[in-house]
Structure 1
Amino acid sequence: MTDVRAADDRAAVIEAGALAAVERLLAAGTPYSGLSMQRIADEAGVARSTLYLYFREKNALLIRLSSGLKDGSYQLMSSWSPDGPDALDRLSDTIRDVIAYYRRRRHLLRATLESADRDPEMGRIWADELDPFQELCRHWIRTAQAQGRTAADVDPVTASQVIVIGGFRVIAQQAVAGDPDRDATVAHELAANQWYGAFRRPA
């Protein structure tokens, strides 16, 4: 039992070290396309053969890191509620916080988007990561419809796709390459489009 626990502890240390190594290299400006398993192993201080025991390719490392990236933004978005007279202002503030969150991690976001564009499997995995956001959005729209607060002809599924997929592209562009001084403006316009386009569309 002690041997098994020791092996598990060693695996956890190696995996954490490899993930941290990738993030350090990306943060230092290394493009994702320029990363190799050998370079990651060197940065993590392990043999390449050891690294392959835990991650079959560098995308496996990026998938783990990008999953954590989405968790943080989901926590921010799910804290918002469409109820209350200041809901639109709070939505704008929340989107601005999400932009800032991604900007602090733009090296990881840039690598994830680069990989998703080039690798169909990574693209599918990244798209799946957006599903919880769409589910949350559908819930908000259906609740608003049941309460008579938005038009009955809003299609929750399609509207959620537009809000989440389209909104994420705007947020990602602003976080990776936009002027931070424009964060509030971008967030306000995005929030207003979502609010009046779906959450409170006139009947």
Structure 2
Amino acid sequence: MPSITRRRTANVGRPTSAEADILAATQRLLIDGGNFTELGVQQISTEAGVARSTFYNHFRDKIDLLMRLATELMSSSFDVTSAWKPSDGVEHLEDAFLQVVKVYRKHAAVRRALAEVATYDATVRDFWSAELNQFTNWTLTLLRAEQDAGRTPADLDPASATRVIVMGGERALVDHVTTGDPGSDAAFAREMALTWWYGVYRRPAGYSK
């Protein structure tokens, strides 16, 4: 197996044209069923229509490439999720989750590659944990603010509730986009929203705001 364990923090920002071509080509190969570990830099470069040297001008290695792809997935998800606030109500939360499901469907092949590589690469595991932390920190802050305002009961343990909905929610999303019918996306998003709203935020039955 070729080594893909050289390290560098993933780049952020607007990609150059060649960089965008490489990212898009890798995603196409993954969508077509490619195993990330077995994809070679030459194969990716050929699919992108660039020289192998061009790949290394933009990415140190395949780990760097994978983390860039994963950053797009998580940034899009976080932008949607963090735009919601409890005063928006459960219906807007349902809409937010539906948008997140769409993001996960678009990047399902990348999420599969992350799971694959994380089994043997500590850098990818640490990177993914850090990416999820932004959701953890945001949710924890929100729940504590709701408690302070008296809208969520004082007996809620924010740390435990956050772990349940962030870690459990992400796994549920992966399972749904992997095995679920796209026609059930709206129903799935609604159930996630109701679980958060009435379970974690502890809103009374029938309360929507």
Q: TM-score, normalised by structure 1?
A: 0.82
* Counterparts of residues 57-136 of structure 1 (less than 5 Å): 57-84=61-88, 87-136=89-138
Please give the alpha-carbon distance, in whole angstroms, between the structure 2 residues aligned to 1:185 and 1:129.
27
Find the aligned partners of 2:184 and 2:65 in 1 and give their Cα distance: 33
- Asked if 2 retains the 8 angstrom alpha-carbon contact of 1:141 and 1:156, the reply is yes
Aligned with 2:41 (options 37, 41, 48): 37
Q: Could you tell me the percent identity over the aligned residues?
A: 41
Partner of 1:5: none
Separation in 2 of the partners of 1:183 and 1:51? 36
Shift of 1:77: 0.8
User: Matches of 2:189 and 2:17 in 1, distance apart?
Assistant: 39
Q: Does residue 1:27 correspond to 2:36, yes or no?
A: no
CA distance in structure 2 between the partners assigned to 1:31 and 1:135 by the alignment: 32
Cα deviation, residue 136, structure 1: 1.5
Shift of 1:116: 2.4
Deviation sequence 1:20-78 (CA, Å, 0-9, x none)? 22122223332223311121122233343443343232111010111011111111111
Stretches of structure 2 that go unaligned for 5 or more consecutive residues are 1-14, 205-209
Q: Is the 8 A contact 2:22 2:48 kept in 1?
A: yes
2:60 is paired with a residue whose SS is: coil
Structure 2 residue aligned with 1:197, among 196, 199, 204? 199
Compared CA separation, residues 58 and 128, structure 1 to 2 (3 A): same
RMSD: 2.2
Judged with a 3 Å threshold, the aligned counterparts in structure 2 of structure 1 residues 180 and 14 are, in CA distance, closer, same or farther, namely closer
- The one-letter amino acid of 1:167's match is G
Is the Cα–Cα contact under 8 Å of residues 73 and 103 in structure 2 kept in the other structure?
A: no
Shift of 1:110: 1.9
Q: Give 1:168's aligned amino acid.
A: E
Deviates more, 1:192-201 or 1:119-128: 192-201
TM normalised by structure 2 equals: 0.80
Contact 1:150 1:201 in 2 (8 A): yes
- Secondary structure of 2:152's counterpart equals coil
Q: Is the contact made by 1:151 and 1:201 (CA closer than 8 Å) also made in structure 2? A: no
**Residue-by-residue CA offset, 1:88-109 (whole Å, 9 max, x unaligned):** 2222222122112211222222
Q: 2:178 aligns with which of 176, 179, 195?
A: 176
| Bigger radius of gyration | 1
Give the Cα separation in 2 of the matches to 1:56 and 1:12: 15
Structure 1 CA distance for aligned equivalents of residues 23 and 185 of structure 2: 29
**Rounded Cα–Cα distance in structure 2 between residues aligned with 1:24 and 1:162:** 33
Task: Give 1:123 deviation, angstroms.
Answer: 1.4
